[in-house]
Amino acid sequence: MLTPEQIETKLDRILLKVQKPGRYVGGELNSVVKDWDSADVRVALVFPDIYDIGVSNVGLKILYDQVNQRGDALAERAYAPWTDMEALMRAEGIPLYALESKRPLSGFDLVGFSLPYETLYTNALNLLDLAGIPLRAGERGAEHPIVIAGGHSTINPEPMHAFMDAFVIGEGEEVIHDIINVLKLRNTQYAVRDDLLLALAKIPGVYVPRFYQPHYMDDGTIARVETLAEGIANPVVKRIVAKLPPPPTKFIVPNIEVVHNRASVEITRGCTRGCRYCHAGMITRPVRERRVDEIVAAAREAVRSTGFEELALLSLSSSDYTHIEELVAAIGEEFKDEKLTVSLPSLRIESVSIDLVDKLRGRRGSGFTLAPEAATERMRRIINKFIPDEDIINTTREIYRRGWTNIKLYFMIGHPSETLEDVQAIADLCKRVIAEGRKVAGMKVKLHAGVSTFVPKPQTPFQWVSCDTRENILAKQALLKRELRDRNIKLSWTKPEDTLLESFLSRGDRRLAEVIFTAWKNGAKFDAWEEHRRFETWMSAFAEHGLDPAFYTHRPRRADEIFAWDHITAAVRKKYLFQDFRRSLEGHIRVDCRLNCYACGILPTFADLRRDNPGEGWKCPDVKSPRKADVSDRGQPLAVR
């Protein structure tokens, strides 16, 4: 294994030949360089896309803090080198290394990948290969790190099961400590790798694929998933934290320009809106909020310790934060004398939202973003995001009137049962928005319609539906392109190939692992990048393994089908999801669940956590029933089906 000094010497010979060498050298303010030899457990946290995107990932930042706060462990970072750097690293024999110590990843005890979206899968394989770590979990021995993954896409871990020793299901803040505590015993109690993996598998929220065996029916669907070891959970229930811990504030300050040059504070986690297409909204329940004073203090500390020009207040739905008015007033007051841009994403379509952004001194002339998602009443009922046209027109008119010249509206096509009339309505609505805008602000007003294509996601009410076909998607996009020719309307859309790729990876089973492997071997990587699109490579990988992508993308699922991911649960019951799917077909909407609990399954699963944390913090009702006697003492979730 190369030493850090050897790696640095080799790097000095190649770094001037690559674009943005600052990506590969570390040395950022707030990065933590700990003494290698005094740590019992060394963790490499990997975001499998380039530094420019990965360095501001908040999830990994939380874990980086959690691990580095321990006296007995250290965490370092690695990102995917861009293709120019990768080629030189391979040519010079430089393995993937961590930025802090310049040590090869293969020398760490734990390599943790963040996989928030599916198009990172091939990059994860590529990075394991670049690190010299066997790609397949079954080929790793005592000398190799334990490789784990977490993040939203791993709520269906099966397509990547072959490459990860374990997955973290749900939130990482607490489980990372449980994992490190087990790894501390790797040279004593758990010297045999299988024993170590079994100990990990017994941690609530940790899924170790090798201890689960799916059995298939003749039609390729799942018959059942067998558990191969005693004492492990089936289903594996996601971990949550009862109370959001203090947010990280010492963000890494990159020395080069990256995508998000900003500090951020998560104001709430979870969402009560129940939009049926929304993966995040279904799998991050329950809603937990931070207090205003805690958010303001964290924002102050984050700005002080980073010097960033921008602060983002993060949540899935800012308008739904209980104390949003109070928060905005407090943030405005706290930073009133400073040159700081504050961004507040995911605002509801109503004039109050404009007041909120106004109070944050959001720069006029820059854009204002809203997400109506659909443009007919029928579609809005189906997806459970009901915003009347008049609200959209009144709000956008007011935004233009108050001096913003650019509005971005997000829509989605390809929702279940959508027709060309529903898509026509998107074009009509856009034209009306800009026509109304011109009345109040003249010809300079601009509209950006971002129209993506819906991908059915596991663990949502739409997990039963078929993805829209390539032909339909193209016809709908052609309609939009034809209709939205106004030179002040900009239209952007998703290529159908990208939608299909995301679609089969999202609802794949274990057999997709071989497809992913073959696609990677034949050159697929950076699948989220337009210039790396290799759809044909993916199609031939399917063919090579005798699988049909349409089985994953275009097959309406039986009502009673056992899904490949059913032995993993985000604690929202499948029965609830199916009932909500049925309500969708009937056009029934469900209002914000703060107003009325629909018993999605979160509360019975996490009853003890809720009982111990009553009141404001959660947006679920309090649990009054007495604690059951047989529940473990450390917040272990109890699955109730």
Partner 1 sequence: MRLRVAFSKQGALRYIGHLDLHTLLERAARRAALPLVYSQGFHPAPKIQIAAALPLGFSSRAEMADLWLSEDRDLASLRADLQSALPRDIQILDVQQADDRAPALQTLVVAAEYEATIPDEFASDLTSRLAALMEAESLPRVRRGKAYDLRPLMESLEAAPAESSGETRVLLRLAAREGATGRPDEVLAALGIPPESARVERIRLIFRD
Which residues here bind partner 1, judged by CB under 8 A?
12-13, 15-16, 21-22, 24-29, 253, 255-257, 304-308, 339, 365
Nearer to partner 1 among residue 203 and residue 252 (C-beta): 252
- Which tokens belong to 486? 């106004």
Residue 104 makes CB contacts below 8 A (sequence gap 6+) with 1, 2, 7, 95, 96, 97, 131, 132
Neighbour-count burial of 557, counting CB atoms closer than 10 A to its CB (0-12 exposed, 13-18 middle, 19+ buried): middle
- Which tokens belong to 104? 């090869």
| Least CB distance to partner 1 at residue 437 (A) | 22
- Helices vs strands, H then E, count in the chain: 22, 19
| Least CB distance to partner 1 at residue 16 (A) | 5
Nearer to partner 1 among residue 335 and residue 400 (C-beta): 335
Nearer to partner 1 among residue 215 and residue 364 (C-beta): 364
| Least CB distance to partner 1 at residue 297 (A) | 17
Nearer to partner 1 among residue 251 and residue 606 (C-beta): 251
437 contacts 397 by C-beta, under 8 angstroms = yes
Nearer to partner 1 among residue 22 and residue 367 (C-beta): 22
Nearer to partner 1 among residue 52 and residue 178 (C-beta): 52
486 contacts 432 by C-beta, under 8 angstroms = no
Residue 346 makes CB contacts below 8 A (sequence gap 6+) with 315, 316, 317, 318, 319, 371
144 contacts 106 by C-beta, under 8 angstroms = yes
Neighbour-count burial of 329, counting CB atoms closer than 10 A to its CB (0-12 exposed, 13-18 middle, 19+ buried): middle
Q: Which residues pair with 78 in a beta bridge?
A: 46
Report the alpha-carbon distance of residue 418 to residue 471 in Å, rounded.
13
| Least CB distance to partner 1 at residue 489 (A) | 25
| Least CB distance to partner 1 at residue 402 (A) | 18
Nearer to partner 1 among residue 89 and residue 480 (C-beta): 89
| Least CB distance to partner 1 at residue 4 (A) | 13
What are phi and psi for residue 317, nearest 5 degrees?
Answer: -155, 90
Q: For the residues of 260-277, what is the DSSP string, one character each?
A: --EEEEE-EES-SS--TT
| Least CB distance to partner 1 at residue 99 (A) | 9
**Can you say whether the dihedral through the CA atoms of 379, 574, 570, 115 is positive or negative?**
negative
Nearer to partner 1 among residue 24 and residue 368 (C-beta): 24
> Measuring CA to CA, how many Å separate 593 from each of 64, 286, 484, 611?
33, 10, 36, 19
- Which tokens belong to 29? 């303010």
131 contacts 106 by C-beta, under 8 angstroms = yes
| Least CB distance to partner 1 at residue 314 (A) | 21
Nearer to partner 1 among residue 338 and residue 560 (C-beta): 338
DSSP conformational letter for 82: P
Pairing of strands 222-227, 212-216: antiparallel
Nearer to partner 1 among residue 253 and residue 393 (C-beta): 253
